[in-house]
A and B are shown apart, each in its own frame.
Chain A
Amino acid sequence: MLKVEHLTKVYSNGTVALEDVSFEVPDGQFLAVIGLSGSGKSTLLRCVNRLIEPTEGRILWDGVDVTTAGPDELRRIRRNIGMVFQHFNLVERSKVITNVLAGSLGYVNPVLSVVNRFPQQYRDQAIAQLNRVGLADKAYVRADNLSGGQQQRVGVARAMMQEPGMLLADEPVASLDPVLAHSIMQYLEKINKEDGVMVLCSLHFLDLVHRYADRAIALNDGKLVFEGPPASIDDAKFKEIYGKEAERVG
């Protein structure tokens, strides 16, 4: 259960990215976060695992306050929250398996992992995760030799390596063509439905929201403007979320 209470983020240059955002996500839900570019979707997701420090408000993850956690506790929280990025954020010069193993850095011995020693169980697990996204044969290939869709699947495998209770997906398909977009979304759906992992996914295309999300929240200029099932986004709601000039496409 994720609880976000009165979350506000003001950047040091004065930009207000989030303003008093509150919502709750029950365990096992697939939540879509929608809104225009710059509406605060990325900031919101990054505040959840404190890649960005919130200015005010509280975030409770399974009853633990994320916002006040010390460095050690924050690492313990982060390893339980997987994250998938728009630009995949793989270390391109490293092998695929190393990228996936990076997902276990929060669990392994902090000193030995620095010299690239991972226990065998984690290596097996990394291969298993790659197998799940259909890339086991690419394990020892350099990450930049993969196509965009393959790279995002490695990104998903890395996040799953953490055995997370929650998955944050920041525009996971915005850099991919529609066919690949559906394939990645299906992986996320599988993770959500089969493993019961809560998914917070920011999305651009409403048809993806309709198809995959259980519930949606919408941000406009840092404020929460909508909360409810995707099916309830009618034309009036749409204009409210995306502005008066917006046209529905796709």
Chain B
Amino acid sequence: MSVEAPDPNAPVAKRAGDASAPKRRSRRQSIILGLAIIAGVVTYAYGFQVTKVDLGEISSETRRGQLIRVLRDIARPELLTYDRIPTNTEFTIYLPCPADGFEPTPVTEGRRLVVEPACADPGDTLLITGVGFAPNSRGSINQVPPSGDLELKIGEFFADVDGNFEVVVDSRERAEAEAQTIRVVTNERIGSIFSPVEVESSSGEMRTSPRISRAVQDTWDKIIETVFLALLATTLGTALAVPLSFLAARNLMRDITTTVTKLSLQLLAIPLGVVVGVLLSRTAQQLADQLTNNKILLVLGLILVPAIALAAIRYAFPPVDDEPPTPVERGQRGAMALVAAVAGILGILLVSELLIQVGGWLDDALGSFGFLGGFLEKSGEIATAITTMLSALLGAAVFATLAGRLSTFVRSRVSDTTMQAATYPLAALAGAVLGAILGAGIGWLYRVTDPMAIYGWPAVAGAVIGLFLALRNRSRSSVQIGLVTYYLARTIFNTLRSIEPLVMVIVFVVWVGIGPFAGALALAIHTVAALAKLYSEQVESISEGPIEAVKATGATRLQTVVYAVAPQIVPPYIAFTLYRWDINVRMSTIIGFAGGGGIGFVLQQNIRLLEYSAASVNMLAIAIVVASMDYLSSRIRERVV
């Protein structure tokens, strides 16, 4: 007997033992399946009722007629405008028949009408046949009594694709002895694409027919607006999303820890830093104003200030020595860093002032390229505006760093118990300040006036939370501030991302008015949230090896990010930015529906006015732009990645 031969009994027994269990299971499964089917049916039945599914509407004759008309208009985008001249086609009839009867002269060539019968009693039914009209043309059928100064409409016609039609109409009850005329009026196009004609308009100007339509001109203007709206939104969004994405990257934030003491000190220092930063930028602003009054001083300042800033940076952040710097050296370096900061802010202000002045001059000098000057002017104004914000941020960062250093320094000098004892009031104070600041914001939003409600209670609550945290964490144990930041950033991004730009634009329309600027801002905000999330996921998936290696060389955190993280994320960042640019072009085509400017604005207008041929031009443009941007970005992506 070979080893592989199965034991004849065991498998059978096993099968028999298993047989009942699956059966019971399958009965339960079929009950569950049945319930699932019933639940499914109920769900869909309710869904049908809620969404008002109505087949009657789909098959209704009038609805179909409307749909067909819209579809036909859309199928014929109004690219060219033709001048038209009214043209009459006539047929002579008698109502009633003359005594000797009437036999019309048959016409067999060109555009013609045949009315049967050619004579009848007034009010009788006439069969009107038209041949040789413009394909798909339409017009009215009129009865003209012999006097010739009156046209009575008796019907309408729609010619088929060959230019023929057959209509049955009732003649008017107007008996005349003399001949009456059945007249069909059509508006004939003048000229064709291959042989355009010069026509004099009613205002006396000469123009060609056919010519580019108004709809195409409007569409061109608006589609350009759309593309640049998307460009600006993507640029702005990317610029903000790149630094923010690092905050939402788990692998970078995970290891950043602090202690309650340090955190409290830093929380206290940050508001101070913001205030100092704002004050510094004000001072720099005043200095810049004085300098810019005089052209020579401005030029001198533009040369000297950056040089001073660079020299100060070199002095304040020297190459690392083997020996730790002495306190005096530290003080000198700190002072130089301050000089560098002020010089930097001043430099930005001077450059932006230069931009404003040069831009203003170029605006006049360049003529039709004046928008370049306008751009320089605007850039200068924007730079001036964000300087205050930048210096506030800088102040906060510097003060937070100093507070951190202070806490490390104090820790190395005092015992753990002293440190722990000092932590309680510090944490409570930091909590109180944070609470009061948050309270002030909330109070402003809800227009609370009671100072106790604005500052008092939030401060008390903050102090209690701070004290609680200090009690829970020993002064040496670490607080995972990095992870807290990570979750906070994630939450904010997800919330912002879940609000569609179409909704966001409504807020911006209120703020900056209807137009492309509102659309660009709304798209930019959405772009920040979406890109920061995508970017941060890229940061999370980079390989840790190079980071470890660069850290091991004694690099600072910033150097590590620049030398180990940045090179790894550049290709995916570019790919995602292009992808987002793609999405933004698509979004910007409809952002106008909510007042955000771009092609969507005209499209919506045309749809409301039932100008489907013009709307068709808009849609055509959207299709072309989206398709070509898609192609372009995928080509660039291939190149880069």
Contact = CB atoms under 8 A, between A and B. Distances in A.
A176 B314 CA distance: 43
B567 A94 contact: yes
Interface in B522-550: 545-546, 548-550
A88 B550 CA distance: 12
Which 5 A-B residue pairings sit nearest by Cβ, starting from the closest?
A: A106-B554, A79-B554, A89-B545, A89-B549, A78-B554
B545 A85 contact: yes
B15 to A, nearest CB: 40
23 contacts: A70-B412, A73-B324, A75-B555, A76-B320, A76-B554, A83-B552, A85-B549, A91-B550, A91-B563, A92-B546, A93-B571, A102-B563, A102-B564, A105-B553, A107-B320, A108-B319, A109-B314, A111-B317, A112-B314, A158-B549, A161-B553, A162-B554, A168-B552
A204 interface: no
Nearest to B316: A111
Given A106-B555, A109-B314, 9 more contacts: A75-B555, A76-B322, A78-B552, A82-B553, A90-B546, A91-B550, A92-B546, A104-B553, A107-B319
A46 to B, nearest CB: 8
Contact of B555 (A81, A90, A102): A102
- Place the interface of chain A in its size category: 35 or more
Given A51-B552, A78-B551, A111-B317, A93 B408 contact: no
A39 interface: no
A194 B549 CA distance: 24
Contacts of B564: 91, 102
B553 A103 contact: yes
B320 A85 contact: no
A123 interface: no
A137 interface: no
Contact of B567 (A71, A83, A93): A93
A79 B551 contact: no
A156 to B, nearest CB: 12
Q: Is the interface of B mostly helix, strand, loop or mixed?
A: helix
Interface residues of B, number: 30
A51 B319 contact: no
Interface in B551-594: 551-556, 558-559, 562-564, 567-568, 570-571
Interface in A179-205: none
B56 interface: no
Contacts of B570: 93
A224 B231 CA distance: 62
Contacts of A72: 324
A85 B546 CA distance: 10
A210 interface: no
A113 B549 contact: no
Contact of B556 (A75, A85, A91, A158): A75
A87 B545 contact: yes
Nearest to A111: B317
A109 B317 contact: yes
Contacts of B556: 75, 105, 110
B553 A78 contact: yes
Contacts of B322: 76
